[in-house]
Structure 1
């Protein structure tokens, strides 16, 4: 989980071996349910998402994960990735610093890679994130511009103990330079599916790991989730 967001985009760039690639017909816009019907989103949002989702360089649906936590804590973390990253650092994990911009968007920079993203749709069972920036997927690979959409779907099953079993799943769409994507695919070859699985799992774990920690260690939750320093 040390470089979750970088792994996310690197995994997507390496996904063509196991995921749907550009040129293949899509039966529907998304495999996972959108939290808000696409046609009900504001026109600027539909336009931005549509340019990526309707003609992605790469798209993939990541495996679902289940864990036990408090749903309100989990959803709070989804809305505060900056605090989620800070919580990981308090636990000794070298997580990328995420900053909140004045307009409510989030920003991270890790060497030549940098992204700005925001939540563009939300509902009781999911989020849609839209990101723009540039990513350097490998030491000897060029920095490439990227636009991405991530559809997060989650559901919880309440337990008599007051918490819930939360099931989360992620679908991602990436639009980038096709030459760069082809280069990464050639370099990673048969390891691409495993990289995609690991990278996408890191994104899910980024949120679920802290939600589960706060659930399992309630006496430490406030200190880990606060905005104060270690």
Structure 2
């Protein structure tokens, strides 16, 4: 069972993913938000790449009688006219049962779409890293972690979340693991920092930015290990449990 990681959504290619399981990760904050929304009872999350696509999809689904919310951010802030932003804490505070959420973000939705060449696409974050590891161990397929990155740059929190899943997978896998050098480094870094993830990741570029724009509590929420047991899967353009 081979494990590898792609450090930015821009670097993923169908050749890297063919026949493998992809785990899309945008720990700060999109994949954490998707998991949180589905835990709150929303029927599905549809990730899209643009504001225009989100608005068009809402019109289409609303015309069919679905209850739809559009959510998303640009530069970390809620898009004007949207129902919700991209703070997972927002999604804990609204009634979502049976609703469909259309989500567009700067980084995470690109990582999900970029994973489309894989055999299976799971949604991962710190909050469900152990649950993701259990699913991966049960399937036994080769894995590529697709880190979203941030605005085309390496993102420390995504790298560390891939290391967290790898850490738990090593404890559960029944077959031998062939782990790439990058993931060995990610897992080791996770072991060294897991007792204070918010403190460590708060010193990173993205963590500092979230504080600057008024979302310091999102860092704590996104860094809470294993608070969720669900592992959403992206199939045919839709994320569901």
Please say whether Structure 1 and Structure 2 have the same fold, judged by a TM-score greater than 0.5.
Answer: no
Quick check: which one's helix share is greater? 2
TM-score (norm 2): 0.27
Normalised by the length of structure 1, the TM-score is 0.28
Identify the structure with the greater strand proportion. 1
Greater gyration radius: 1
